[in-house]
Chains A and B, each alone.
Chain A
Amino acid sequence: MARETMNEEPRHLRRLFAVWFVSWIIGDVLYWLLLGPHMAPGDMTKSAHWNQFDLNVLFMLCIPVLFGVWIYFAYATFMWNAKRKSCPEPVGGPAAETNSRAQWSWIWITSVTVVLLAVYGTVALVGDNGSGGGEGPSPVWNPPGTVKANTAALAGKATWQPNSDQVLVVQVIGQQWKFTYRYPAFGGFETSQLILPNDTAIVFDVTSLDVIHSFWAYQLSVKADANPGYNNVAYADTEHTGPFQVHCGELCGIWHGSMFNSGSVVSQTDFMTWAKKTEAQTAANTANLPPMAWTYTPDANGASGGLYPDGTVTPYSPSETYGAKQPAS
């Protein structure tokens, strides 16, 4: 009896380990070969490429975890099933209540895995200058030249030339229920088309005119919430040409579902052509737009963004808002 028990115990765990080990190796290899290259969000930008890689790393880590638990439970269902005639009687008592080695191994392995994941995620985030996520008005991790370009854009001095390694600043304005885009390097024209040059570092300055939206350019792997009165900066570095989709990623009211548009990344010369053409076509309209500013929502001091450029501060008159009786109509 004792020998049977001694022989039984290693058999279970060894079997489980063997099956598990083989299965996750196969699973990971299959994943890497078949699914990995096609994983979201593609590789249109540098962030997209590294975010895809990050997703692949996580999937390949989670496959062993999933398989481990599934195999164990399947094994238990088969081997330790009361309906199975040869299932031995369980043994209770202190030996069944705790097992220091199993407990500490589990705690150590999960802790180390999780901390390593956090470290990896941080490295990926910092190394990729925010990974395409919105970093607020004062981003901490900036690709070279972007801060300067952004400052220049605000001062009306933005420029962009093809083949010059310059940063392109694009302002994204969300409103209920569409996105529009302003290009400060081309006179600040506003368009609902998002065309971007290839092999270029892009700065997106995202804001909103009314409620919270979210600028989610899926293939560019950019997601930045658009808040009224705030500027949210996100970066992208285009690497391939092609079309991409922009969706609103934050519920913004009734037509949130239809708040989307397409865009494309084109070659630098094509982009230049388009930008110049659009600048010329919209010149009359652009003259009526407010000067470039990071936010456009009016507030009690007038409107930020210099909508009232004469510098006077509108005194806030709350009695206009409530308290006053309605005039006779």
Chain B
Amino acid sequence: MSGENEMTTASSQPNFPGGTPEEREFEMTTDSSQTSFPRGTPEEREFEFRAHVGAMWSGSRLFIAMYTFLLASVCFAYFYLRSSNNAQLWRPHNVTAPLYYGWAIYILLLFTALMALFGQTRFRKGSVNDWQIAGWAGVLSGLVALFLQIFEFTKVPFNPGSSAYASIFIGFACINCLTIFAGTYWLETTLARSLRIRKELGGTNPELSTAFTARSLRANVSAMTYFWGYIALSSTLFLWMFYRF
């Protein structure tokens, strides 16, 4: 299980004048002034590290499952109120949230997801800089999407209580802010971590080494990309539900 998400470094064992990343990491994280444990034998460290990588894999899938239940609750509310149509106030006059904003946010999110996916592919192949550029472009577009989603609240052509559609839209938009923020934050933190690993461990492309922190980063990037794919899919569904014109 750990094999498939750890992007193995093919041939990249470049030059490390200050010690290999693994050595420098060991220096940084071991403190022999403490008692005999702190990390145990090398085999134990490797065992616990593989558990950690496995935890990232299962954790990201479980997180997606949790998020699905969250979004499914919103979908349930939408379809339930639509079918009830109480007081004929589901969606009077076919009122719709601003289409330009909706489409713009959707396209930006799609772009971010594509950047994450593309970046991860390049990362796997060893081109870390490609990943950085794609990733930061994705962060930018994610931030713009978040800003647009928040700004959209001021631009809706209806009052929140004027119809059930209006209410559900406001609820969805709040959760969408949360989703965009979570995804963009996750993307940004992996990019920032990658840059900092270069500083901490030194040498060329230490993100591709077998140091624990580098392997952990790669597992993290893989998990994050999965989540962005999920965001792209769920955004498509919500686009159809709320902006279908």
Interface residues of A (CB under 8 A from B): 229, 299-301, 304, 316, 318-319, 321-323
Interface pair B87/A299, CB less than 8 Å apart:
yes
Contact of A299 among B89, B158, B159, B162 (CB under 8 A): B89
With the chains together, A300 CA to B87 CA distance in Å?
7
Looking at chain A's contact residues, the main secondary structure is loop
Residue pairs across A and B with CB atoms within 8 Å: the count is: 23
* Pairs across A and B, CB under 8 Å, 9 listed: A229-B87, A300-B89, A301-B87, A301-B88, A304-B87, A316-B92, A318-B158, A318-B162, A321-B159
With the chains together, A82 CA to B194 CA distance in Å?
63
Among residues of B, the one whose C-beta sits closest to the C-beta of A229 is B86
Q: Mark B135-176, 1 if CB is under 8 A from A, else 0.
A: 000000000000000000000001101100000000000000
With the chains together, A301 CA to B92 CA distance in Å?
11
Q: Which of A300, A301, A319, A322 has the most CB of B within 10 A?
A: A300
With the chains together, A322 CA to B159 CA distance in Å?
9
A197, chain B: closest CB distance, angstroms: 35
With the chains together, A322 CA to B160 CA distance in Å?
11
> Given A301-B88, A319-B159, 7 more contacts at CB 8 Å?
A299-B86, A300-B87, A301-B87, A304-B87, A318-B162, A321-B159, A323-B159
Interfacial chain B residues near A299, Cβ < 8 Å: 86-87, 89
Interfacial chain B residues near A229, Cβ < 8 Å: 86-87
With the chains together, A300 CA to B86 CA distance in Å?
10
> How many residues on B have C-beta within 8 angstroms of the other chain's C-beta atoms?
9
Among residues of B, the one whose C-beta sits closest to the C-beta of A322 is B159
Interface pair B87/A318, CB less than 8 Å apart:
no
B210, chain A: closest CB distance, angstroms: 44
With the chains together, A322 CA to B161 CA distance in Å?
10
Q: Mark B81-122, 1 if CB is under 8 A from A, else 0.
A: 000001111001000000000000000000000000000000
Among residues of A, the one whose C-beta sits closest to the C-beta of B86 is A229
Interfacial chain B residues near A318, Cβ < 8 Å: 158-159, 161-162
B161, chain A: closest CB distance, angstroms: 7
Among residues of A, the one whose C-beta sits closest to the C-beta of B162 is A318
With the chains together, A316 CA to B158 CA distance in Å?
11
Interfacial chain A residues near B159, Cβ < 8 Å: 318-319, 321-323
With the chains together, A197 CA to B232 CA distance in Å?
63
With the chains together, A299 CA to B92 CA distance in Å?
14
With the chains together, A323 CA to B162 CA distance in Å?
13
With the chains together, A300 CA to B159 CA distance in Å?
13
